[in-house]
Amino acid sequence: MGHDILGYNKSGENVAYLRFSKNDVNSLVVYCLLESSDYFAGVSGTGDSVSFTQQQMEKALENYNRHMIIYPGKKHFETWQRNEILKFLKNCLEMTKKERTIQVLFG
């Protein structure tokens, strides 16, 4: 169990990926940034897929604050996870600029 959050282009190729363990409360940050808390099912996502526009991804990126993600005593992992979230949001945004939308799966 865990949270696998994947972004797909219109060809079905995976262009963005995030992974959180089932007990990682920081996964909620991503659901909140994407205004998708309905797809949070506790230890994983619901398995549903949602389409996002460029405007929605821009808003998520604007609202992202690196200090939202905290892993006490694990500074190296904290920095890595912050960068992974930022990379995910940027990759999704770039895809919406090319294809107008991106499909995100909350697994």
**26 or 48, greater pLDDT:** 48
Rounded to whole angstroms, how far apart are CA atoms 93 and 102? 8
Residue 87 is encoded by which pair of tokens? 């990379």
User: How much of the chain, in percent, has pLDDT values that exceed 90?
Assistant: 77
Query: Crossing angle of helices 54-63/75-99, nearest 10°?
Result: 160
What's the whole-number mean pLDDT along residues 12-33?
94
pLDDT digits (tens, 9 = 90+) for 58-97: 999 999 987 677 788 888 888 888 899 999 999 999 999 9
CATH fold for domain 2-106: Hypothetical protein yfbM fold (3.40.1760)
Asked whether residue 44 carries a pLDDT value surpassing 90, the answer given is yes
Q: What pLDDT, on a 0 to 100 scale, did the predictor assign at position 34?
A: 97
